[in-house]
Amino acid sequence: MSLKKYIAYITVVETGSLTKAAEILNYTQPNISQMINSLEEEYGFPLLLRQRNGVKPTKNGLAVLHGMREIQRGYKNLSETVNGINGLETGKIRIGAYTSIATNWIPDILKEFKKQYPFIEIQVYEGNASELDQWLEEDQIDFGIGTVHNHKWEFQALFEDPIMVIMNAHHDLAKLDFISLEAIESVAFILPYSDSLFEVHNIFKKEQINPNVAYQIRGDETIISMVRSNLGISLLPNLLLRGCSTDIVIKPLKNQVFRQIGVLMNTRGAQTPSVDKMIHFIHKWTKKNN
């Protein structure tokens, strides 16, 4: 059946490895190679570039990948609909989420969702804004939970997350009730990378603020650790700071700024029933818990 070959090829592309794809799909590596070779013979052109450190799709292989994924999604839709008619809720959901969301929301969401739908399989991918973009573009996730930064995707708002100022308890600014952006210019600042927290960069750009950047760091936990060591202050979303009060003072900005958290979706294909159920569940859960 061609569907099995399509799934094999999709998995090989996503893992970059024939061996890893075989492990995931419970085939032998020769079985996977045979299916890919069969597709290449059928189509009349190579689908994969075989390299020393793995494989990657050829230009033509990328061109047919989207069509294969649409067929795979259609089959999932059919299977889930048939199972639903027969009283069995099944499916597979792939979610991409920011670190703060994966840490603070996802465990509780999954715990409650699985009580209602125990037979729906869920995979969670943790990443930054750039990675969510890539996963949506390449159809490696069904939807993401992040911020509205790329108007290419459909966005369903969930929650406004305030951007907060964090500092060591002994920092000179710690005695203030709120912090102005102008005050940030006069002290050492730890700047997140734009692919992790582009909202912070947008704040400075919009208000024409030039922070005194002492360090530029990508990892949220590293930023918090450096602030705890009094190496500078920083700006981070409130959701990311839950449970981080030890030796850290969290202050609001004088003119409060929020990041808009929501569901990000690629609109190229219809979602499966299980994905629709999860998105609806997340909206209800967020409204109840925030």
pLDDT band at 261 (very low <50, low <70, confident <90, very high): very high
Closest-CA residue to 112 (of 290, 248, 288): 288
- 260, 151 Cβ separation under 8 angstroms: no
pLDDT for residue 114 is more than 70: yes
Distance, CA of 88 to CA of 234 (rounded, Å): 49
Q: What is the pLDDT of residue 270?
A: 67
Distance, CA of 237 to CA of 187 (rounded, Å): 20
Report pLDDT digits (tens) over 62-99: 889 888 888 888 888 888 788 777 666 788 899 999 88
**CA distance to 54, 155, 159, 285, per residue, from 288 (Å):** 46, 20, 11, 5
In the chain, % of residues over pLDDT 90: 28
For the CA atoms of 265, 108, 194, 161, the dihedral, rounded to the nearest 10 degrees, stands at 90
Q: What is the pLDDT of residue 284?
A: 94
For the CA atoms of 236, 237, 239, 245, the dihedral, rounded to the nearest 10 degrees, stands at 40
pLDDT for residue 258 is more than 80: yes
pLDDT band at 234 (very low <50, low <70, confident <90, very high): very high
Q: What are phi and psi of 280, to 5 degrees?
A: -60, -40
The pair of structure tokens assigned to 169 is: 């308890």
What's the mean pLDDT in 170-190? 89
- 8, 21 Cβ separation under 8 angstroms: yes
Report pLDDT digits (tens) over 2-13: 888 888 999 999
**Most trustworthy range by pLDDT among 109-123, 197-211, 213-227, 233-247:** 109-123
Report pLDDT digits (tens) over 38-50: 898 889 999 998 8
What's the mean pLDDT in 202-226? 86
Closest-CA residue to 72 (of 43, 92, 48): 92
Mean pLDDT of the chain: 87
Q: What is the pLDDT of residue 111?
A: 94
pLDDT for residue 195 is more than 80: no
Q: What are phi and psi of 105, to 5 degrees?
A: -110, -50
> Other CB atoms closer than 10 Å to residue 57's CB: what's the count?
18
Residue with tokens 């999604």: 73
Report pLDDT digits (tens) over 24-33: 888 988 898 9
Contacts (Cβ under 8 Å, ≥6 apart) of 6: 39, 68, 71, 72
3-state secondary structure at position 145: strand
pLDDT band at 282 (very low <50, low <70, confident <90, very high): very high
Q: What is the pLDDT of residue 186?
A: 87
